[in-house]
């Protein structure tokens, strides 16, 4: 497995593979890889002959006061994870390789980016879509793999691919969790041991909601209340949002009667964590 840092090198390698008739997969990441990322790489390697993992902490998707500077970075460790998970190539560019200083063109998103995480992070999804479009243009893969952990991101990228006619198939992969239920995240390493314990409230509250749905509860107002009262039991937790939306349109709904996305963002101390599940009502 090789690591390259320039657009020219990654383009050259992928062109050679395509010419030789190999199927190529792309797994876009920001690095600090854990078993959630590993599951995407594993699946990509099973379903394709060549796998490129991009590792790039994309500055334009971070807002003011967010953790761009402190975001964990360890390329050497990531190379070991990628190699053992079945990747063939890492593309790890610096910011000035990806962005001209006088960038004019970018990708914007309308309604899908206004709720959930987009409500508090106004330019986040435009930043994500811009970098993902650039990666799709740099690396003409057949398939790209994204986690359901970032459910809004996955929905937006699928829509962007549809709307802008990208010739690539988007594959969503299930959330990987720790044994105790906490969704794996690069940001979990910010948590102290007390906060790590408190963070279990995310999955616990979602489980309560899922149980209520299984028992026939359809009122999203009541379902949100169940999550809220569970989270309020945890003193270190502060609610950013609790939402129940149509899984495709991401529109807020009152009655859970079609596939829904139940999504939460919770601060544990200073760390903002997200979790969700999709329910085929
Ligand atoms: P990130 O490095 O956080 O940008 O994530 C890169 C990709 O890995 C995204 O498609 C995420 O949705 C996915 N991912 C992150 N955490 C998990 C997880 N716990 N389970 C599954 N996929 C994940």
| CA 191-194-195 angle, 5° bins | 40
Give me the catalytic one of 12, 37, 76, 124.
37
**CB count in 10 Å sphere of residue 229:** 11
* Series of mean pLDDT values for 10-residue runs along the chain (281 residues): 98 98 98 98 98 98 95 97 98 98 97 96 97 98 98 98 98 98 97 98 98 98 98 98 96 95 98 97 75
**CB count in 10 Å sphere of residue 172:** 17
DSSP result, 204-258: HHHHHHHHHHHTT--BHHHHHHHHHHHHTT-TTEEEEEEEEEETTT--B-SB--S
Tell me, in angstroms, the distance from the centre of ligand 1 to residue 144's CA: 13
Instruction: Say what the pLDDT of residue 85 is.
Output: 98
Query: How many residues are there in the chain?
Result: 281
Instruction: Say what the pLDDT of residue 97 is.
Output: 98
For the Cβ of 227 lying below 6 angstroms from any atom of ligand 1, the answer is no
Instruction: Say what the pLDDT of residue 145 is.
Output: 99
> Ligand 1: which of 26, 29, 61, 161 to mutate, most ligand atoms within 8 Å of CB?
29
Q: How many CA atoms lie within 13 A of 57 on its CB side?
A: 16
Collapsing DSSP to helix, strand or coil, 72 comes out as coil
Q: How many CA atoms lie within 13 A of 126 on its CB side?
A: 14
Active site residue 37: yes
For the Cβ of 43 lying below 6 angstroms from any atom of ligand 1, the answer is no
CA distance 262 to 220: 9
For the Cβ of 147 lying below 6 angstroms from any atom of ligand 1, the answer is yes
31 is in an annotated binding site: yes
Instruction: Say what the pLDDT of residue 86 is.
Output: 98
Secondary structure tally for the chain: helices H, strands E: 10, 9
Residue 173: C-alpha distances to residues 138, 143, 227 (Å): 23, 12, 24
Instruction: Say what the pLDDT of residue 258 is.
Output: 87
CA distance 92 to 1: 13
Instruction: Say what the pLDDT of residue 64 is.
Output: 94
Residue 161: C-alpha distances to residues 24, 154, 165, 232 (Å): 17, 11, 6, 39
Instruction: Say what the pLDDT of residue 281 is.
Output: 75
Domains of the chain: 2-173 (3.40.50.620), 186-279 (3.30.1300.10)
CA distance 182 to 195: 12
The answer to whether 85 and 41 have CB atoms below 8 angstroms apart is yes
């Amino acid at each position: 497995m090789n690591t390259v840092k320039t657009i020219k090198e990654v383009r050259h390698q992928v062109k050679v593979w395509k010419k030789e008739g190999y199927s190529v997969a792309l797994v876009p990441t920001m690095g600090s890889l854990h078993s959630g990322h590993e599951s995407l790489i594993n699946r990509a390697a099973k379903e394709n002959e060549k796998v490129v993992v991009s590792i790039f902490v994309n500055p334009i998707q971070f807002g003011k006061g967010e953790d761009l500077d402190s975001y964990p970075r360890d390329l050497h460790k990531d190379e070991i994870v990628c190699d053992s998970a079945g990747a063939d190539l890492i593309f790890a560019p610096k910011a000035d390789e990806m962005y001209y200083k006088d960038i004019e063109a970018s990708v914007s998103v309308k309604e899908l980016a206004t709720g959930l995480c987009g409500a508090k992070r106004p330019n986040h999804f435009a930043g994500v879509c811009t970098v993902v479009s650039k990666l799709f243009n740099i690396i003409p893969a057949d398939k790209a793999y994204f986690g359901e952990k970032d459910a809004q991101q996955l929905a937006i990228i699928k829509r962007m691919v549809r709307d802008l006619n990208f010739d690539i198939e988007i594959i969503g992969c299930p959330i990987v969790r720790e044994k105790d239920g906490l969704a794996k995240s690069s940001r979990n390493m910010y948590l102290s041991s007390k906060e790590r314990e408190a963070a279990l409230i995310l999955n616990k509250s979602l489980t309560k909601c899922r149980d209520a749905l299984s028992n026939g509860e359809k009122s999203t107002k009541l379902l949100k209340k169940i999550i809220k009262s569970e989270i309020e039991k945890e003193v270190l937790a502060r609610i950013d949002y609790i939402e129940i939306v149509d899984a495709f349109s991401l529109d807020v709904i009152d009655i859970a009667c079609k596939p829904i996305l139940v999504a939460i963002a919770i601060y544990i101390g200073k760390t903002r964590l997200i979790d969700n599940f999709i329910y085929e009502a």
